[in-house]
Structures are given as structure tokens and as C-alpha cells.
Amino acid sequence: MARRSVAACTIAACATMSLLRSSAFTVAPGLRGSGVLRVADHGLVAPQTVASASTDSAPSSATCLATGSLLGLAAVVLGLGRRSSRVTRWASHNWERKWWSVEEDQDPTTLPLWQRDWRYGFQLLKRTMHEARKKGKKVFWEVRVLESKDKGCSVEMLKSGMIGWCPMSQEGPARLKVGDVVMMECLACPKNRVNTERKHSPWPHTPIAFKAEPVFSHHHFLERERSIAKAKDLVTGDIVECTVFKHIARGLLMSMDGDESGPKGMLSMMDISRKMSSHGYVEKMFPEGTKMRCYVVHADQNNGRITLSTKEFEDDDKVGWMLSFPERTMAAASVATAVDRFKGKRADFIRLLQK
């Protein structure tokens, strides 16, 4: 793109100089001292604030200024003009000023819908989610239920006044009532292109604002609170009873406490066995609802992330037994012996590193 722009400017400059060398541009008689340039063929006059040239053979200062003016006009036509003041450019990178992070002076929910700043609301929600996900964190917003419908409820964010939608499956164990103020996580925030999509858009639309609405979930907030409470009771090295809740791309999502709505733990594909396997084989050997014993690798009390593993149950001469003989490997006696052996090897390895 940069090479095309430079080439276009070069062509425009060459064309301008060739026109100036020809007889198309002449200085109007009697106006040489005033610095007025006349285009003879078209009758155009461009005022300049320069003195006249000393000789007729050399290019006059008005001619030089006309060249610069035409080059500037070519640059503007080619899109090389000054950029917007709201964008800072440095080393071929653009940064927009963080106007979306400024707090509101008044309660935005007191304004009617047609007076609310929808662009600020979208930018605040989208940029905050982007920055939080880069840090591996989740953001929960305080919202108020406006209307309860058959398929979900319409909510508004108390911080920006944005109108959103919460499906009935994401409301939690009980339906939310109108006027309830709860914490929700934004599952999806539409981009600018979605705001002008046609009637067959997958996003719900506000009838008044005609904007695509973000999707929220109160169920995710409740799950996070339960996971934090469960993580406070767990210690690295514990053996817990889990049930396969769902197969995902990263591995198995395990439900703890024997309840589907209870806290969840993550059993990664690389932590199932010391021998790697495919998703199809793991889904065949451990379908949804399978009860398993898992080793607690880590339990974060701040965000409720619980990391589980079963490869510690395998010994050096039993590599891959979690995939071939899971019943034998996860037996109570075998699990206790395998975990003690694993802790002894880990302690020996740490002592070796400390020498």
C-alpha cells in the first residue's frame, strides 16, 4: 500500500512539472508583481503571497508555489492527508486515546434510551473484556433486570446504561425477576459491523435503539462463586471424586460434589495419561457421566480455577494404563500407592536440584 502511494505521488509530481514546463501556465499580464497565477487554458486564477520572479526564463516563485499546491492536492486525493486527532500514530502503529475508560459523571440509567451514549457503552464493554482476557481474568458487571420474557430477560448495565440480553438458560437455577440487581458476565459483545446487519442477524435487537445487544450470563457468576468456595477447601495432592460433565477442546470438564450445577474442575488432555491420545478415543473411554478419581494439581482461591490430573496414578511400568485399564488404575488401593510413589519421586527430584 505504501509503495502504491509513493508511486502515485511520483506520477502526480512528474505530470505537474511537465504541465508547468508547457505553455499551459502563464502569469497574467500586469499581475506579475502581485503574485497572481493564471491558468491560460481554463481561466483559473490562484492568489499567492510572494514577490515576482527576477527573470522570465527561470521558474517564478509563484510557479513553485503552484507546484507545491498541486502536490498537496494530489496527496489529499490519494488519502495521504492529516489523520484524525483522536488517533495517535507512532512507528506504523495506531493507539486510540482511552476516552472509553473515563467514568460517567451521572447515572446513565436515568437518561432515556435515545439520549444514552451507545458508542461509549460498546467501547467500554468490548475494550474491558479484551484487556481482561489478555490477563487471563474475567469481568463481571452489575446489571438490572428490565423485562422478563419467555426465552430470557432484558437487562441494562448500571455503569454505562447499555441494554443487553440474558437467555433463560443463563439466568441460573431460578428465573430472575424484574428489578433484580445481579452480577453477570458478558458472553459476547457484537462489533460495529453487527449494528447494521439485516433482519436475519443472530443477535437480538433493542426495538428503540436499533442496536445489536450483548449477551450476559448470571449462571457463570454463580459457578465462579461455587468454584471459589470449593477451591478454599482443596489442597494440592488431594484425591477427589469427579464426574465427566462435558468434553471440550482442551480436555474434560469435571463436575465435583456429584452435582451438575456444582463447582467445575479442568482435566486437560495432556494430564489424563502419560501417553497422549486422541479426542475420539478419550470420548469413547470416558463418556459424559463417567465417575473418576482425580488428583488436585492446583486450586486457585482468587478466581476459582481448579486443575485436575490422573496421570499421577500411572507408574513407569504402567504408562498408558489410564487409557487402556482405567478401572484398575483408579482403584482406591492403586491410587493411594501411586500417589505416595509420585510424591516420593518428586521429593527426590527436588533434593537433587538443590545439591
Specify the 3-state DSSP secondary structure of 29.
coil
- CA distances from residue 324 to 182, 275, 278, 308 in whole angstroms, order as listed: 46, 11, 13, 20
Q: What is the pLDDT of residues 330-342, one digit of tens each?
A: 887 788 888 888 8
Q: Give yes or no on whether 110-217 and 234-354 have one common fold.
A: yes
- CATH number, domain 234-354: 2.40.50.140
Quote the longest CA-to-CA distance of the chain. 111
Residue 262 near residue 255 (C-beta atoms within 8 A): yes
Q: What is the pLDDT of residues 215-264, one digit of tens each?
A: 999 999 998 999 999 999 998 888 888 999 999 998 999 998 777 777 88
Specify the 3-state DSSP secondary structure of 219.
helix
Closest CA to 116 of 188, 193, 206, 209: 209
Region at 342 (left for phi over 0; alpha for psi -120 to 50; beta for the rest): alpha
- CA distances from residue 320 to 274, 315, 340 in whole angstroms, order as listed: 6, 9, 19
Lowest mean pLDDT among 11-20, 244-253, 302-311: 11-20
Lowest mean pLDDT among 39-48, 99-108, 244-253, 327-336: 39-48
Domain ranges of the chain: 110-217, 234-354
Q: Which three cell numbers stand for residue 245?
A: 460433565
Residue with cell 482405567: 326
**CATH tag for 110-217 (out of 3.10.105.10, 2.40.100.10, 2.40.50.140, 3.30.70.20):** 2.40.50.140
- CA distances from residue 226 to 173, 233, 267, 304, 320 in whole angstroms, order as listed: 13, 11, 18, 8, 33
How far the first Cα of the chain sits from its last, in Å, is 59
The reported pTM is 0.61
Q: Where are the alpha helices (DSSP H) in 79-194?
A: 118-134
- Residue-level length of the chain: 355
Residue 142 near residue 183 (C-beta atoms within 8 A): yes
**Gyration radius (Cα) of the chain, Å:** 34
